[in-house]
A and B are shown apart, each in its own frame.
Chain A
Amino acid sequence: MSLKYLGQKNILVVEDDAFNIQLIRSFLNKISDMKIISSSDGSEALQIINSKKYTIDMILLDLRMPIMSGEELLTRIRNHDEYNDLPILIISVDDDNKNELRQLGANDFIHKPFRIDDLAQKISENFTEKV
């Protein structure tokens, strides 16, 4: 599956594990022309979003992070009206609290361990829904 048709989107990956970021980066470099911006904690990610240096088209968000957790970041982003339509996909290992997260504004879930087809499909779907 190729995501080249989506063009040069900016994806913000918020994840505290450097290896997992690299894995997503390598996956997406392989199948798409997307630009990956990464951040290892919620508060830094919030700064990146608020700085408006990039137009962020999608966020992939890990939950367990130091300083500011994924849940908190999710809540804060959804508090801004201008980000209402920004697709946020949760990177998760467990299935535990999907409903809660949906209520907080999560659009979809990507499971660890990552599978390239799952990742590609989820990203593709969540861009398409927006259009």
Chain B
Amino acid sequence: MNLQQKQDLFMASISHELRTPLTSILGYGELLNNTHLDSKQQEYLKRMLHSSKYLLSLVGDFLDIVKFQNNEIDLDLKEIRLHTVLSECAEIIKTNLHKDIKFETDIPFLNYTILADDRRIKQVMLNLLSNAAKFTKSGTIKFYVKDIIELDNETKLTVNIEDSGMGMSEEIQKALFNPFVTGDSTQGFGLGLYISQEIIRLMKGEIKVTSQEGKGSTFSVTFLVNKIKNKNISQILFKKNILMFSNQSVFNQNITNALKTFNSTLQCYSPNQNIASSFRTIFASTLEYHIAVFDMNHVNYDVAPMISTLKMLHPSIKCIALLKQYSSVRTSYFDKIVQTPISVENLMYEFEELSAIDNNLKKNNQYIDFSHLHVLIVEDVEMSRDYIKEMFSISFSIECDTAVNGKDAIEKVKQTNYDIIFMDVRMPILNGLKATKEIRKFNQNVPIICMSADVHDKDIHAAKDAGMNSFIQKPLDKGEIIECLLSLIPQGTAYTVSHTVSLKEIAHKYLAQNFNEETILLLLEKSSQSIALYIGNIKEHSKTNNYQSLADDFHAFKGLLGNLGLTDEAKTTSELQHTFEDEDSSYDVEEKVTSFLEKMEIFLNDIT
């Protein structure tokens, strides 16, 4: 073994040794985060998690450096949409910015998809954006696509990250892309920019910097991506029926025109029209609806009953909310939130994406019942094993079996018919690769997922060669596990159990701001008595059309729901209270009351 090989082996084992305990720290930290902590404890935990994630990124950086020096890095090319990747970067960085900083983005849609490594593009952009954030105390950070040059099969993109921060001297600028140089010697190793530059070089591009001390810096990232042509929107949007609740008539007309080319139809309902009659028309229609768009900037009624009825009548319908700001409306009913203003073209792309993606369950709080799955976790480190078991139990309601090494695993697989196995690689007695080879001798079908902190390409190949089906990296990402589990659930049945965040969860979280678990339970119990009483009263008074009493009932309900943090429901009760106070039976309130009572009965059932 020569020196270089020894060094590689050393780096590989260092990374493994560091990642394993980090998995436990981050994992248990996340679990702790979901328990009831007071604000001080939450703050401490946030800092611990932040530092742990930073440490993890450093380990990742070191590994990247070794890989670059050995020319071991390959781009993992996938069909992606430029807009999606860059928007995700913008979203991530937005939540981490100081509130005095203005963040401006301009990310255009390309009317084709590209072939590129989204993970690496994100790594570079996030690195540059977080640098901008770090060195800008106030002012503006701009993140925008500066140039798009169309070549035959490729597109040359230039993305700028511009800040009004402290800037850099020319000396620092010159040395910036060397490893171990930073603008601020007190922070970090300065590996990020070096790695970013190397990644962009792999994409046949470069990162340039212009900067003036005290004025700010601009990083300009130019790189080439492959175009994927013949991406045909019309196929996906062909003969789709779309509902739209919006009063921007010109906008609607433009969408209608755009949709005509696909033989699709758009039915528009103004939010000012009589809601009940619009609903009746829609519910009575024999058309199959595929997409419903709610312009939440103009809709001021509760859309939840509408959406749930639509989803019942048209199980595959996708609901989009158009919204100026992300936070002002509860968004869990919607399949997608689209920020306005939006161009017709971009909205068409949103339609296309929604129609194309059927498994975007992760994003929309959809809940799938995984609890029937038999899962085996093979992991030798006790702490990690306990954590994974706990995480599966909490996140997926799966009670896993565990095995402590490869030999143990083989015994368990012989005895039980598992749906999926998550297998560590490095284990005493019998390692994961050898164990997989043994298992494949008598069971070719059970999916075996490799969990490893070793992320060199050769490790991934070794796992595949041994007969493993796929590879997930430690620390485990819940999203990746969901994808593994989703693949086990037959298409179409995935939606069978779907719900949004329950009222109990919202109320619990709200009360947890001030109270310990014991008090919360007491309060929920008290509230259940009140709710049961009010539901009874409302039913009683509905029978006799006693409007004044109903107004009182809903008034009392409003106070209670508000105190449980259920603001949307409190709003509904408030509307109903006023309806009854005005003795306004001009539109069908019965339906609204029924749907509200159903919701409350479910909630009551949950908390009793």
Given contacts A22-B526, A27-B514, contact A16 B563 (CB under 8 A): no
Given contacts A30-B515, A64-B556, contact A19 B527 (CB under 8 A): yes
- Residue of B552, B555, B563 near A113 (CB, 8 A) is B563
A26:B522 contact, CB within 8 angstroms: yes
Q: What residues of B have a CB within 8 angstroms of the CB of A26 in the complex?
A: 514-515, 519, 522-523
- Residue of B530, B558, B564, B565 near A18 (CB, 8 A) is B530
A126 to B369, CA, bound (A): 53
A20 within 8 A of B: yes
Interface string of A15-58 (1 = CB under 8 A from B): 01111111100110010000000000000000000000000000
Q: What residues of B have a CB within 8 angstroms of the CB of A30 in the complex?
A: 514-515
A114:B563 contact, CB within 8 angstroms: yes
Instruction: Output the least CB separation between B112 and chain A (Å).
Output: 50
A102 within 8 A of B: no
B530:A23 contact, CB within 8 angstroms: no
Q: What residues of B have a CB within 8 angstroms of the CB of A19 in the complex?
A: 523, 526-527, 529-530, 560, 563
B536 within 8 A of A: no
Query: Which chain B residue has the least Cβ–Cβ distance from A91?
Result: B559
- Total A-B Cβ pairs within 8 A: 53
Size bracket, chain B contacts: 20 to 34
The interface centre, meaning the residue of A18, A19, A27 with most chain B CB atoms within 10 A of its CB, is: A19
B563:A20 contact, CB within 8 angstroms: yes
Query: Which chain A residue has the least Cβ–Cβ distance from B529?
Result: A18
Query: Which chain A residue has the least Cβ–Cβ distance from B561?
Result: A113
A48 to B558, CA, bound (A): 28
Q: What residues of B have a CB within 8 angstroms of the CB of A116 in the complex?
A: 514
B559:A17 contact, CB within 8 angstroms: yes
Binding site of B, secondary structure by majority: helix, strand, loop or mixed? helix
B108 within 8 A of A: no
Q: What residues of A have a CB within 8 angstroms of the CB of B522 in the complex?
A: 22, 26
B60 within 8 A of A: no
Given contacts A18-B529, A113-B563, contact A23 B523 (CB under 8 A): yes
Give the number of residues in A that approach B within 8 Å (Cβ atoms).
17
Q: Name the interface residues of B331-347: CB closer than 8 Å to any CB of A.
A: none
Interface string of B529-546 (1 = CB under 8 A from A): 110000000000000000
A6 within 8 A of B: no
Q: Name the interface residues of B304-353: CB closer than 8 Å to any CB of A.
A: none
B188 within 8 A of A: no
Query: Which chain B residue has the least Cβ–Cβ distance from A21?
Result: B526
Instruction: Output the least CB separation between B102 and chain A (Å).
Output: 31
B519:A20 contact, CB within 8 angstroms: no
Interface string of A94-131 (1 = CB under 8 A from B): 00000000000000000011101000000000000000
B139 within 8 A of A: no
Given contacts A26-B519, A30-B514, A30-B515, contact A93 B526 (CB under 8 A): no
Query: Which chain A residue has the least Cβ–Cβ distance from B557?
Result: A17
A18 to B528, CA, bound (A): 10
Q: What residues of B have a CB within 8 angstroms of the CB of A64 in the complex?
A: 552, 555-556
A26 to B515, CA, bound (A): 8
B562 within 8 A of A: yes
Given contacts A26-B523, A27-B514, contact A20 B552 (CB under 8 A): no
A23:B563 contact, CB within 8 angstroms: yes
A93:B558 contact, CB within 8 angstroms: yes
Instruction: Output the least CB separation between A33 and chain B (Å).
Output: 17
- Residue of A18, A22, A27, A113 near B562 (CB, 8 A) is A113
Q: What residues of A have a CB within 8 angstroms of the CB of B519 in the complex?
A: 26
Instruction: Output the least CB separation between B388 and chain A (Å).
Output: 37
Query: Which chain B residue has the least Cβ–Cβ distance from A29?
Result: B519
Contacts from A to B (Cβ < 8 Å): 16-23, 26-27, 30, 64, 93, 112-114, 116
Q: List 24 A-B contacts (CB under 8 A).
A: A16-B556, A17-B530, A17-B559, A18-B526, A18-B529, A19-B523, A19-B526, A19-B529, A19-B530, A20-B563, A22-B526, A23-B526, A23-B563, A26-B514, A26-B519, A26-B523, A30-B514, A30-B515, A64-B552, A64-B555, A64-B556, A93-B555, A112-B562, A113-B559
User: Besides the contacts A17-B530, A23-B523, A64-B556, what 6 more A-B pairs have beta carbons closer than 8 Å?
Assistant: A16-B556, A19-B526, A19-B563, A21-B526, A93-B555, A112-B562
